[in-house]
Amino acid sequence: MGAFRSLVSIGFFVVFVALSLQDAQAITRHYDFNIQMKSVTRLCHTKNIVTVNGKFPGPRIVAREGDRLLIKVTNHVSNNITIHWHGIRQLRSGWADGPAYVTQCPIQTGQSYVYNFTITGQRGTLFWHAHISWLRATLYGPIIILPKKNVPYPFEKPYKEVPIIFGEWFNADTEAIIKQALQTGGGPNVSDAYTINGLPGPLYNCSAKDTFKLRVKPGKTYLLRMINAALNDELFFSIANHSLRVVDADAVYVKPFETDTILITPGQTTNVLLKTKPSFPGATFLMTARPYVTGQGTFDNSTVAAILEYETPFLHSVTSMKKLPLYKPILPSLNDTSFATKFSKKLRSLATPQFPANVPQEVDKHFFFTVGLGTSPCDQNQTCQGPNGTKFAASISNISFVQPTTALLQAHFTGQSSGVYNPDFPYSPFHWFNYTGNPPNNTMVGNGTKLMVLPYNTSVELIMQDTSILGAESHPLHLHGFNFFVVGQGFGNYDPNNDPKNFNLVDPVERNTVGVPSGGWVAIRFLADNPGVWFMHCHLEVHTSWGLKMAWLVLDGKLPNQKLLPPPADLPKC
Ligand SMILES: *[C@@H]1O[C@H](CO)[C@@H](O)[C@H](O)[C@H]1NC(C)=O
Ligand SMILES: *[C@@H]1O[C@H](CO)[C@@H](O)[C@H](O)[C@H]1NC(C)=O
Ligand SMILES: *[C@@H]1O[C@H](CO)[C@@H](O)[C@H](O)[C@H]1NC(C)=O
Ligand SMILES: *[C@@H]1O[C@H](CO)[C@@H](O)[C@H](O)[C@H]1NC(C)=O
Ligand SMILES: *[C@@H]1O[C@H](CO)[C@@H](O)[C@H](O)[C@H]1NC(C)=O
Ligand SMILES: *[C@@H]1O[C@H](CO)[C@@H](O)[C@H](O)[C@H]1NC(C)=O
Ligand SMILES: *[C@@H]1O[C@H](CO)[C@@H](O)[C@H](O)[C@H]1NC(C)=O
Ligand SMILES: *[C@@H]1O[C@H](CO)[C@@H](O)[C@H](O)[C@H]1NC(C)=O
Ligand SMILES: *[C@@H]1O[C@H](CO)[C@@H](O)[C@H](O)[C@H]1NC(C)=O
Ligand SMILES: *[C@@H]1O[C@H](CO)[C@@H](O)[C@H](O)[C@H]1NC(C)=O
Ligand SMILES: *[C@@H]1O[C@H](CO)[C@@H](O)[C@H](O)[C@H]1NC(C)=O
Ligand SMILES: *[C@@H]1O[C@H](CO)[C@@H](O)[C@H](O)[C@H]1NC(C)=O
Ligand SMILES: [Cu+2]
């Protein structure tokens, strides 16, 4: 051995020790999530909301890459509950993913369930939220994944890190809102305000005291961990007189770029660096967010504001504080699709040896799904408030997903899928039409509980094509269990002969939620290396409720470490 001793082998040894030390550092972190009611006042309306541990927004989960999380969720409210760890890959641990009736039955009143999973190969910001009905309106909070110990960020070390979580506040009960909408067939009532860290801010009535304030020191770098937990709205966000440096999207590093405004869809997370000005400029800066909307229905067009405030080295009197100028950012117009397109094209994977973009270069299976709205028939003797007296519906490839009454993953694992789901989701829609031209006369959707089955390690390319039925609209599609690479996008109908030539197979952004452009298409690729049942759905909750969802069933591989683990003993039953 001595003869072989060299600098190289010493180097190897050091790397090996460092790696094993890092692994040894991975720990198990325990959290208790008690689901309980809490009385909360916003916009001068007091209501009882469902919370975790009485907190709104909910508690932060902070972990390092490689850690195991054990989160005990105990349900003390009358609603059924499940929690989803949005963006966590859940390698072989699909039982902990959380969507109701997909990977688990709900945690019923008085019951508890321990979500048990490891964070593998991810670092950045994600979030957790309820994944049943519209309960995520108030049940959400950040997941902060730090790199392994002694592994630096691939960007300047921030002085401080601050979660910025967007939400939607409804004065009315959101469960009543979606129940009413599904009964009448009309569009659900819209929110009364947007919130930043649970607070609507000074532009709303009765809310000046409910304003999030970010106090900063001059000349420092802050990492803002931004999360869009709103139910139904994509958002533009900007800070007056400051630019933002985007460094991470959906817990994957990106090539940094500067922008005045970011666009963030429900389900997306974005880390940005904010450099504060070198000296106290004697001003207060607003940070605001308002929606990007492409659909035709009514929506909440209001603006949420928070305040960026420079710490002062000495105390100003109250009167001098009042004289300070207040700057407001200018956001893109509510329908600025051109901004949305430019912004999404700036997002590129870091694609370095340390953080490679492992884009599948070869494709085993090609899929083409349409996403969009439609109608379903009104019950006899009822008058419906959807288009032309029908009910609003939504679908993938004209199949509006019917939620089963038992969990799909359980049905698959126990071999009792008959009567629960059909493994026959189509590769492409049954009928071609000019998807972005004049809509067909018949807008009625079909329905079913259909899954697309994939052998382990299938390399997948999926084109998602928006339709113009009841109006073209941007849909933020979220895939559970995987990150995917966004290899192409465009407007109009996808052209299978010419569009692939322009795909980016080098450094496309890797994420878990992507906006299908309004009146356009997006192409994604992923490797199906995670056995289980994985939900895919629009992250606009209203569209999910209307059926814009489906699931993939990824089969076990041959090797022992390619199989779904058995279900935990406390997995809730239906
Ligand atoms: C969590 O899951 C791992 C992997 O299946 C298992 O070894 C461990 O016992 C589980 N922990 C608890 C507390 O259930
Ligand atoms: C929705 O809005 C309508 C019109 O303002 C109102 O009559 C109805 O009660 C609202 N529904 C709920 C569930 O709050
Ligand atoms: C705010 O309050 C004023 C006065 O009560 C009222 O006229 C106005 O409509 C309210 N605005 C909103 C957005 O609720
Ligand atoms: C902020 O931006 C506005 C508009 O561009 C400009 O007039 C003002 O001087 C700026 N203020 C500071 C403190 O940078
Ligand atoms: C929001 O919508 C209301 C009602 O349609 C309209 O009166 C108002 O001008 C809109 N506000 C903005 C900022 O577009
Ligand atoms: C965007 O909205 C403005 C009015 O708010 C309208 O004039 C314009 O035509 C709209 N643009 C698109 C692309 O819909
Ligand atoms: C519809 O209403 C008629 C008259 O009220 C009644 O006879 C019939 O049973 C109803 N049909 C359904 C499906 O409810
Ligand atoms: C509504 O129904 C009428 C008559 O059935 C039809 O002519 C019209 O095209 C329909 N409109 C929509 C938006 O479906
Ligand atoms: C689809 O419809 C659009 C808009 O009407 C039209 O420009 C386009 O040529 C049509 N495409 C096909 C393939 O028919
Ligand atoms: C749709 O209906 C219109 C008028 O009823 C008719 O002229 C047209 O041919 C129909 N289009 C299709 C594709 O069936
Ligand atoms: C599915 O479609 C059939 C046929 O249109 C309809 O009878 C049934 O009510 C639908 N089921 C659901 C759950 O929407
Ligand atoms: C809760 O879930 C169980 C199991 O699916 C179901 O039987 C029950 O009706 C649900 N309860 C409520 C209040 O939704
Ligand atoms: Cu949608």
**Of the ligands numbered here, which is closest to the C-alpha atom of 432?**
9
- 88 contacts 119 by C-beta, under 8 angstroms: yes
CA distance 241 to 206: 27
> For residue 531, how far is its CA from the centre of ligand 8 (angstroms)?
45
Q: Which of the four pLDDT bands, split at 50, 70 and 90, describes residue 10?
A: very low
For the cut 70, the answer to whether the pLDDT of residue 281 exceeds it is no
Cβ of residue 319 lying under 6 Å from some atom of ligand 8 = no
Nearest alpha carbon to residue 52 among 71, 67, 28, 68: 71
For the cut 70, the answer to whether the pLDDT of residue 23 exceeds it is no
Ligand 6 environment, Cβ below 6 A: 333, 335
> For residue 371, how far is its CA from the centre of ligand 1 (angstroms)?
38
**201-229 pLDDT per residue, tens:** 999 999 999 999 999 999 999 999 999 99
Q: What confidence score (pLDDT) does residue 16 get?
A: 40
Cβ of residue 295 lying under 6 Å from some atom of ligand 8 = no
Q: What confidence score (pLDDT) does residue 44 get?
A: 96
**409, 456, 536 from 533: Cα distances, Å:** 6, 12, 10
Three-state SS across 52-97? ECCECCCCCEEEECCCEEEEEEEECCCCCECEEEECCCCCCCHHHC
Atom of ligand 7 nearest to the CA of 380: 13
Q: What confidence score (pLDDT) does residue 314 get?
A: 58
- Both tokens of 12, joined, read 């190897």
Backbone φ and ψ for 160, nearest 5 degrees, come out as: -145, 155
Nearest alpha carbon to residue 195 among 298, 80, 343, 57: 57
> Looking at ligand 7, which residue's alpha carbon is closest to its atom 13?
380
Amino acid identity at 94: G
Q: Which residues fall within 8 angstroms of residue 531, CB to CB, at 6 or more apart?
A: 92, 94, 456, 554, 555, 556, 557, 562, 563, 564
In the Cβ-directed half-sphere of 236, how many Cα atoms lie within 13 Å? 25
> Looking at ligand 12, which residue's alpha carbon is closest to its atom 5?
574
Query: First and final CA of the chain: distance in angstroms?
Result: 61
**Of the ligands numbered here, which is closest to the C-alpha atom of 377?**
11
CA distance 230 to 227: 9
Q: What is the mean pLDDT of residues 485-498?
A: 98
- 26 contacts 64 by C-beta, under 8 angstroms: yes
Percent of the chain predicted with pLDDT > 90: 91
Provide CATH 2.60.40.420 ranges for the chain. Answer: 24-146, 160-346, 365-562
Ligand 11 environment, Cβ below 6 A: 402, 447
Cβ of residue 24 lying under 6 Å from some atom of ligand 2 = no
Q: What is the mean pLDDT of residues 171-192?
A: 98
Q: What confidence score (pLDDT) does residue 12 get?
A: 37
Atom of ligand 2 nearest to the CA of 180: 13
- Both tokens of 42, joined, read 């916003």
CATH classification of 24-146, choosing from 3.40.47.10, 3.40.50.300, 2.60.40.420, 1.10.540.10? 2.60.40.420
CA distance 212 to 209: 9
Of 106 and 381, the structure prediction assigns the larger pLDDT to 106
- Both tokens of 445, joined, read 């959707």
Cβ of residue 124 lying under 6 Å from some atom of ligand 12 = no
Q: What is the mean pLDDT of residues 484-490?
A: 98
**231-258 pLDDT per residue, tens:** 999 999 999 999 999 999 999 999 999 9
For residue 521, count other CB atoms closer than 10 A to its CB: 25
For residue 226, give the 3-state DSSP assignment: strand
> For residue 105, how far is its CA from the centre of ligand 12 (angstroms)?
9
Q: What is the mean pLDDT of residues 511-517?
A: 98
For residue 176, give the 3-state DSSP assignment: helix
CA distance 192 to 131: 22
Token pair 């991810």 is at which residue? 122
DSSP string computed for 121-144: S--EEEEEEE-STTGGGT-EEEEE
Amino acid identity at 158: P
Token pair 């609507």 is at which residue? 200
Q: Is 421 exposed, middle or buried (0-12, 13-18, 19+ CB in 10 A)?
A: buried
Cβ of residue 162 lying under 6 Å from some atom of ligand 1 = no
Q: Kindly report the CATH class assigned to 160-346.
A: mainly beta
Q: What is the mean pLDDT of residues 373-402?
A: 96
**402-445 pLDDT per residue, tens:** 999 999 999 999 999 999 999 999 999 999 999 999 999 999 99
- Angle 480-265-536 (CA atoms, 0-180°, nearest 5)? 25
Q: What confidence score (pLDDT) does residue 53 get?
A: 98
- 263 contacts 342 by C-beta, under 8 angstroms: no
CATH classification of 365-562, choosing from 3.30.1780.10, 2.60.40.420, 2.40.480.10, 3.40.640.10? 2.60.40.420
Q: What confidence score (pLDDT) does residue 326 get?
A: 87
| Site to substitute for ligand 1 among 31, 70, 92, 116, most atoms within 8 A of C-beta | 116
Cβ of residue 280 lying under 6 Å from some atom of ligand 4 = no
- Both tokens of 346, joined, read 């700036």
Nearest alpha carbon to residue 451 among 480, 424, 490, 484: 424
> Looking at ligand 10, which residue's alpha carbon is closest to its atom 5?
441
For the cut 60, the answer to whether the pLDDT of residue 388 exceeds it is yes
